[in-house]
Amino acid sequence: MSTRQKLELEVPEEILVSLKESSQEFSKDLLMLAAVKLYELGKLSSGRAAQLAGISRVSFLQALSRYNVSIFDLTEEELKQDMANA
């Protein structure tokens, strides 16, 4: 099991009020958004992005469509590498 680093982020309360989210919900959403974007940019494999989001790889891949991110925008080599890292 890997160790985890704790990051602290200050968010104006008005943002949480506007989003109608608790700090826990916002934190979870931010992790998912970061995971999706890092995956989309090719900085994380789908497995590592899922790990960041705190969900299974299959759930992560299924969720990508909600963010208009295709799992098939990879080159053949990138797809092979992503599968090897899963």
User: pLDDT by residue (tens digit) across 21-68?
Assistant: 999 999 999 999 999 999 999 999 999 999 999 999 999 999 999 999
Count CA atoms within 13 Å of residue 74 on its CB side.
Answer: 17
d(CA 45, CA 64): 13
Question: In terms of residue numbers, what domain contains 21?
Answer: 13-85
Residue 6: inside a domain, yes or no? no
pTM confidence score? 0.78
Residue 2 lies in a domain: no
| Predicted confidence band of residue 4 (pLDDT cuts 50, 70, 90) | confident
Number of domains in the chain: 1
